Amino acid sequence: MSVNERIDEIVKGNDVVLFMKGSPLFPQCGFSSKAIAILDHLNVVYESVDVLQDMEIRAGIKDYSDWPTIPQLYVKGEFLGGSDIMMEMYEAGELQAIVDAEGLAKAG
């Protein structure tokens, strides 16, 4: 399986997935940390992929989305943006609207 196919499988197989540096508990970069804080605040169910543990994905994800930086957020198979766009969308209430519309919040 090529790296592109591997990434595609992860992106298509999860409603919300964040490619990041480090783990949600121990983010290894301020931008990844900010992305996690936003997702946690939205109470979203998400998968995360630590690109520092997989050099192939770390390089491949930038080609996959044609986007130069990490973190990268995908919702329902679509690339939504990096941490800056997440913050802009969060502040505009747009992320909450997507979470509500797609039913992505944690139960309870």
Partner 1 sequence: MAMHAHEIEEMIQAALPDAFVEITDLAGDGNHYAARVVSESFRGMPRVKQHKAVYDALGGRMGGVLHALQLTTATP
Candidate residues 6, 45, 67, 96; the one interacting with partner 1 per rule CB under 8 A:
67
List, as own/partner pairs, every contact residues 24-27 make where C-beta atoms lie below 8 angstroms and the sequence separation is at least 24, other chains included: 24/48
Candidate residues 28, 43, 53, 69; the one interacting with partner 1 per rule CB under 8 A:
69
Element (H or E) spanning 95, and its range?
helix 94-102
Candidate residues 9, 84, 100, 102; the one interacting with partner 1 per rule CB under 8 A:
84
Q: Which is nearer to partner 1, 91 or 107 (CB)?
A: 91
Q: How far is the CB of 81 from partner 1 (least distance, A)?
A: 5
Contact between 74 and partner 1 per CB under 8 A: no
Please give the structure tokens belonging to residue 4.
């592109």
Neighbours of 80 (CB within 10 A): 18
> Mapping DSSP to helix (H, G, I), strand (E, B) and coil, where does residue 10 land?
helix
**What residues between 21 and 60 interact with partner 1 by CB under 8 A?**
30-31
Neighbours of 106 (CB within 10 A): 9
Name the site residues for partner 1 (rule: CB under 8 A): 30-31, 62, 66-70, 79-82, 84-85, 88-89
